[in-house]
Structure 1
Amino acid sequence: MKAKEGVLEHLNGILKAELTAVHQYLLHAALCKHWGYDRLHEYYSHLANEEVQHSSGLIDHVLYLDGTPDVEHLDAVAQGRDVGALFQVDLEFEREDVELLRKAITHCANVGDFTTRHLLEHMVEDSEEHVDWFETQLRTIGQVGLERYLSEQIKK
């Protein structure tokens, strides 16, 4: 099936973000494991796996539209020196992802590509859940303090 105008560009832009997220969340999972925060390691590993699934779905869909998936280019992977910094960079990353997805969804609706729009709507729901999770963690840290928060992230 041939892609409608501009759809492949949007999909490859989102694919770039999703593949970057895989790398970023794998790094953040490893950092949390290294720091001894097993619960955060598990959550970041879950996020990385979810982003792999998104990437796989995008690759399949680009191929379905007779396009070439761009798997060679990534954005810079952001990291932080502590958990609070990780949460901040990941929150910003997810907010940017939501915006990227919303623009693509609007474009797909405008050109009449409802199949791609449907795929992206599921992805934006996941990204909005990630935004909510990071906001909640940062709010909790603000309420109870970083040390107390981190003491709950060690597997007991």
Structure 2
Amino acid sequence: MKNKTILIKGLHEILSATFAGAEQHLAHATINEYNGFPKLAQRMRSEFENEISDSKILMNRILNLGGIPNTEHKSLPIHLDVTKQLEQEFAEQVIALNRLQELIILSENDCATRMVFEDFLKDETLHTNWLRQQVSLINNVGVANYLTTQM
């Protein structure tokens, strides 16, 4: 019973981060669209949609374990500057990857919850790698050159 409570708490933690990330992605997508960077805006809008889809999976798992989904979350920083947007998201992703790895270990006796966390880890790893690449591109070619590829 204690492990179930720990898993529900972990699922709520990821659910909270997912809602916060969705909110941040939507804001950054809107900012980038407004500033004339539709490619970057579309990528962030896609991330927003993924986060919303992920939240449904998390809520269903919480319900399956007998919990009640809680959608409270802290807001994440919103930046007008693209470099800051990407660096902030990258830093958040690194934290999320570490936490997901911890939660996978904690869910060793619950295959269904472990699979949810493992699937999220795969998706978040891909997003983290993309963010790392974007930050690297900005550092290597400069933000102005990077942004010309996002028009």
Q: TM-score normalized by structure 1?
A: 0.92
Q: CA deviation at 1:143?
A: 1.3
Q: CA deviation at 1:10?
A: 0.6
Q: Does residue 1:102 correspond to 2:105, yes or no?
A: no
Q: CA deviation at 1:76?
A: 2.3
Tell me how far apart the structure 2 counterparts of residues 136 and 118 of structure 1 sit (CA, whole Å): 27
Gapped runs of 5+ residues in structure 1?
A: none
Partner residue, 1:79: 78
Tell me how far apart the structure 2 counterparts of residues 33 and 100 of structure 1 sit (CA, whole Å): 32
Partner residue, 1:51: 51
For 2:10, give the aligned amino acid. H
Per-residue CA deviations over 1:66-98 (Å, capped at 9, x if unaligned) read: 111111x11222122310000011001111111
Tell me how far apart the structure 2 counterparts of residues 4 and 82 of structure 1 sit (CA, whole Å): 42
Q: Does residue 1:139 correspond to 2:136, yes or no?
A: yes
Structure 1: 4+ residue segments shifted above 3 A: none
Partner residue, 2:90: 91
What is the 5 A alignment of 1:55-66?
55-66=55-66
What is the 5 A alignment of 1:21-36?
21-36=21-36
Q: CA deviation at 1:5?
A: 4.0
Partner residue, 1:128: 125
Tell me how far apart the structure 2 counterparts of residues 38 and 104 of structure 1 sit (CA, whole Å): 36
For 1:19, give the aligned amino acid. F
For 2:128, give the aligned amino acid. V
Gapped runs of 5+ residues in structure 2?
A: none
Q: CA deviation at 1:152?
A: 1.0
Bigger shift: residues 86-95 or 74-83: 74-83
Partner residue, 1:42: 42
Tell me how far apart the structure 2 counterparts of residues 5 and 152 of structure 1 sit (CA, whole Å): 47
Q: Does residue 1:114 correspond to 2:111, yes or no?
A: yes
Q: Secondary structure in 2 aligned to 1:4?
A: helix
Partner residue, 1:152: 149
The percent of aligned pairs where both chains have the same amino acid is 24
How many residues are aligned here? 149
Tell me how far apart the structure 2 counterparts of residues 104 and 69 of structure 1 sit (CA, whole Å): 18
For 1:20, give the aligned amino acid. A
For 1:141, give the aligned amino acid. I
